[in-house]
Amino acid sequence: MTDSLWVRLRDVFRPSARAEASDEIAFHIEMRARELVEQGHDPREARAMAEERFGPVLPIEADLIDSTQRRRQREDRAEVLMNLRQDLSFAVRSLRKNSAFAATAIATLALGVGATVAVFTVVNGVLLRPLPYKDPSRIAMIWISNTNPQGVTSDLPLTSGFFTDIQRESSQFEAIAAFRFSPYSLSVAGSVDKQRVAGARVSPALFQVLGVRPITGQTFTKEHAVVGGPNVAVISHDLWQRQFGGDAAIVGKRVDLSGQPFTILGVMPAGFTFPRGAELPPAFQFALRTDVWTPLVFDSTDLRNYGTMNLSAMGRLSATTSPVAAQSELSAIMKRFLAENAPRLKLGYHVVSLVDQAGKKVKRGLLILFGAVVCVLLIASANVASLLVARVSNRQRELAVRAALGAGRGRIARQLVTENLVLAGTGTALGVVISYWATKVMLALVPGAMPRADDIGLDWRVLSFAALVALLGGVVFGVAASASVSWSRLAGSLHAGDLRSTGTLSQRYGRRFLVAAEVALSLMLLIGAALLTRTFVELQRVRPGFNAKNVLTAGVGLPIAGRFDPFADGPAWAAKMNGIAAQLSTSPGVVAAGAVSSLPLSGAFESGGTRIVGRPTPAPGQAPSAQYNVVAGNYFAAAGINVLAGRAFDTGDDEPGRRGIIVNQEFARVHFGSVADAVGRDVVATFEFRNNAAPRTIVGVVENVKQTALDDPAAPQVYVPQSQMAYPGLTFVIRTKGDPMTAVPALREAARAADPGATLNDVRLMDDVVALSLARQRFSMTLIGTFAALALVLAIVGLYGVLALIVGQRRREIGVRMALGARPSDVVRMIVGEGARVAALGVIIGVGGAFAMMRVLGALLYGVSATDTLTFAGASVVVATIALAATYAPARRAARVDPKAALVAE
């Protein structure tokens, strides 16, 4: 590419094919005419005769032009190839000869490129790579948006009633589908081994919406999704391989899902695992990947259900419509519904593209990370560029020899560019290898919290990005290197004395500015990293409202097939869960045991409406909502949630007819002004699975618990015992005296005693649950911290390098100074001062840059101001101190210069 440019440039200076052809013809005619004149012809006559003898000029000229152009093209191509081969082999030889230089430059580049490509791999995998569905831009998620009294709008799942409404009334979608999480315990016919698998109940249209077909068999039809329809399932490619060994005759086989026989209808293609938990709001508790799909069936009760929000919905926009049109149509449908049925509710539909749904929440963090890593790459590149410039001044002699032997300026420049392309190419190739591992390490920091993370890898986008980096690097370095060759001196610099030049003014200041910029960038990163670290520390210092130490948590599933009927099954469930808790509390080592519907900080939460008895009915849209939890056993003691007033639930609350409720401090403060005033008041919980539920009496007030994230503001929360409000699945919370893991056998035993079909899942320490909830913060903090450290090291190396070079180039000057009476300490002061000026400039630019940067970083911070003076000052002092320390070694070397030797050497 530089070569074709080169050829085009040369064409400007060489005569055109047309000029050459007409010159050649004119010469012939002129010579002939001259000869005819010599033979005695009149000059004018002679010219006419000459032209006649030559024949038709124009066609011949055209012929010559054509052939000249053809020939030139071929020659140019051949020359380019030959030069390229020469340049390449020369570049490799030249780099090998200077292996220390080459190794330093390549290693620096490989580190910078490796980090950058690793982050780009994640950015590409999460944000750029198209979703693996047909025409993904036309797929939209549909949520119900609810505006709470504080004016905050949040997305909620649909109810079966709302879903069937939009399915019937909307015209903007080719297909609409609903789905919800449905864990199964799977056993293959004839085996007693049970395995928990992530399943989803889905409308038959789901596969049409996503545009994905099974690789064998079929997916559901409408006939499968009716009450009393056949038990059929579609399985993932992974499950097919894992569980059935890729059995070719899988279609039609029987499998046992949670105690019921299902017929396998089809197998989806590899990689299809929708819905995938990390891409959907965590509250819906989808597993990371889905392995089994069964039909979602609505009965007549479901069609009237506008209360239980448990469905996610998505649609494929029809070809003629836009997301905006779909949004406004759905809004109109909701408005009509509310006008007829519930004018006080502030609900709407919210259409969000699947692409945004998957990537939006991590986009900012990832882009900040990418910005940070590009800073590292810039610093690495600046170091390499500065090394190259230094190398060129040492190579001035070699270049002079080559110029003397006839290499043109263009040829030498091209050689420098080629050499740097080889350098950048090797560094990048190594960087790509490093990035492969770096990506894995990065993703291991965010297990399950990064959307689309499970199939991130190198693809053509990543490789093109790396190639672009290499190319850009090579050209920029090459241009920098050839710009620093002082061409005018090439002719003369065979004389040895000229070799010790101190560089041109622009070279000297350019290099210093480069290093100042490096210091500035690394200071910005360091400030960013420090703020994120303080955020992380602040978050961990937050009192979550419970005590995670020595606590084991595990989901306990009881076998239920088909529909869950809260009124029929509820009491039996409660009895079993309470039985497990009771048995556990008697086992040695267990302090307290209980269970909860949404484990704090696990991502799960549920909200519902509440009404205070004796207060006027709230104004439209002002119905107070609260996060609610259903609990069993001795949950508050097990989780370490303090009771501030009244009491916790006890076995008395399990008696039939009792109706109690426990609220948190925030609920008490908002509604009653104080904790003490809340106890004994009556509250209606409108989230109960029944209409016109009777009021509940507040029996106790507990402290606020961080339910969804440690940086959540306090929210009103209420608790109801499972014996009074049936709830399908609970997570056990067991407080132990010693290592919580020792309680696992006791839990398993207690669960099996309660029901032989019970399964355990997600057995974790509460400490790990808390740590996992901070995974994304830890991800940002660790990576930006690593990048900041890397940047600082590179910047210091850069600073050291420039000072060492300055000392080397100014040996003579230093010698003169010392001969004139300067003491070593003066020399040290001079060199350190040189370094200090560069570092100070860098720190000033860096602080300014950091202020600008905080506008984007601010959103990721918690408990620390984005312009925190202490952080800014501390980071600046650290960078300045390290920079000054780096000046010391070159300064001491300068002080040891022997004036006699330095002067004689010239």
Distance CA 847, CA 863 (A): 21
DSSP 800-847: HHHHHHHHHHTHHHHHHHHHTT--HHHHHHHHHHHHHHHHHHHHHHHH
User: Min. distance of Cβ 54 from other proteins in angstroms?
Assistant: 5
Instruction: Give the shortest CB-481-to-other proteins separation in angstroms.
Output: 35
Q: Which is nearer to other proteins, 42 or 739 (CB)?
A: 42
**Residue 592 CA to chain centroid, in angstroms?**
40
CB of 401 to other proteins, least distance (A): 28
Residue with Cβ nearer other proteins (36 or 197): 36
The CA–CA distances, whole Å, from 624 to 620, 631, 684, 715 equal 11, 21, 11, 11
- At closest approach, how far in Å is the CB of 69 from other proteins? 11
Inter-residue contact 72 to 17 (CB < 8 Å): yes
The residue (of 11 and 356) whose beta carbon lies closer to other proteins is 11
In 640-705, alpha helices (H): 665-672, 675-678
CB of 410 to other proteins, least distance (A): 21
What is the amino acid identity at position 717?
Q
Residues that bind other proteins (CB under 8 A): 20, 23-25, 27-28, 30-32, 53-57, 60, 63-64, 67-68, 70-71
**Cis-peptide into 620, omega within 30 deg:** no
- Max CA distance (Å), the chain: 141
- The letter for the amino acid at 228 is G
Length of the chain, in residues: 906
Considering the complex, what minimum distance in angstroms separates the CB of residue 30 from other proteins? 8
First to last CA, the chain: 43
User: Which of 156, 99, 675 has the alpha carbon at shortest distance from 426?
Assistant: 99
- By beta-carbon proximity to other proteins, the closer residue of 72 and 397 is 72
Which residue, 60 or 582, is less far from other proteins as judged by CB? 60
| Residue with Cβ nearer other proteins (26 or 342) | 26
In the numeric block, the tokens 């920091």 are attached to 445
Dist. CA 852–CA 874, nearest whole Å: 18
CB of 79 vs other proteins, minimal distance in Å: 14
Q: Give the SS3 label for residue 627.
A: strand
Q: Which is nearer to other proteins, 66 or 565 (CB)?
A: 66
Q: What whole-number distance in Å separates Cα of residue 218 and Cα of residue 213? A: 8
Query: Measured from the CB of residue 55, what is the shortest distance to other proteins in angstroms?
Result: 4
- Sign of the dihedral through C-alpha 499, 504, 507, 508: positive
> In the complex with other proteins, which residue's Cβ is closer, 23 or 135?
23
> How far apart are CB 411 and other proteins at their closest, in Å?
21
- Reduced to 3 states (helix: H, G, I; strand: E, B; else coil), residue 651 is helix
From the number of C-beta atoms within 10 Å of its C-beta (0-12, 13-18, 19+), residue 266 rates as buried
Q: Which is nearer to other proteins, 30 or 247 (CB)?
A: 30
Minimum gap (Å) between residue 11 Cβ and other proteins: 16
Closest to 383 measured CA to CA, from 134, 601, 109: 109
Work out whether strand 232-235 and strand 292-295 pair parallel, antiparallel, or are unpaired.
Answer: antiparallel
Task: For tokens 């020939």, name the residue.
Answer: 71
Whichever of 42 and 169 has its CB closer to other proteins, that residue is 42
State the minimum distance, in angstroms, from the CB of residue 87 to other proteins.
25
Distance CA 226, CA 219 (A): 15
CB 876 within 8 A of CB 542: no
Output 62 or 227, the one with its CB closest to other proteins. 62
Identify whether the C-beta of residue 814 lies closer than 8 Å to the C-beta of residue 500: no
Which residue matches tokens 């591992």? 437
Give residue 426's identity as a one-letter amino acid code. T
CB of 78 to other proteins, least distance (A): 11
Query: For other proteins, which is the closer residue by CB, 30 or 565?
Result: 30
- Measured over the CA atoms of residue 86, residue 87, residue 88 and residue 92, the dihedral's sign is positive
50 vs 747, beta carbon nearer other proteins: 50
Instruction: Report the nearest approach of other proteins to the CB of residue 21 (Å).
Output: 8
Which of 209, 211, 169, 177 lies closest to 311, judged by CA?
177
Residue found under tokens 């030139």: 72
Q: How far is the CB of 14 from other proteins (least distance, A)?
A: 10
Tell me the helices (H) and strands (E) count for the chain, helix number first.
27, 24
Q: Are 864 and 531 in contact (CB under 8 A)?
A: yes
The total of other beta-carbon atoms located within 10 Å of residue 812's CB is 16
Closest CA to 768 of 740, 736, 807: 740
For residue 9 the two structure tokens come to 């440039």
Q: Which is nearer to other proteins, 23 or 247 (CB)?
A: 23
Q: Which is nearer to other proteins, 26 or 491 (CB)?
A: 26
Check residue 796 and give left, alpha or beta (phi > 0: left; psi -120 to 50: alpha): alpha
Is the bond preceding residue 275 a cis peptide, omega within 30 degrees? yes
Q: How far is the CB of 131 from other proteins (least distance, A)?
A: 55
Of 54 and 437, the one with the shorter C-beta distance to other proteins is 54
The residue to which tokens 């104004």 are assigned: 619
Q: Judged by CB, which is closer to other proteins: 25, or 476? A: 25
Least distance from other proteins to the Cβ atom of residue 787, Å: 58
**CB of residue 25 to other proteins, shortest distance in Å:** 7
Find the shortest distance in angstroms from Cβ 462 to other proteins: 45
Considering the complex, state which of residue 31 and residue 885 has its C-beta at the smaller distance from other proteins. Answer: 31
Q: How many CB atoms lie within 10 A of CB 588?
A: 9
Residues with Cβ within 8 Å of 874's Cβ and at least 6 positions away in sequence, in order, are: 530
* CA atoms within a 13 Å half-sphere pointing along the CA-CB vector of 11: 15
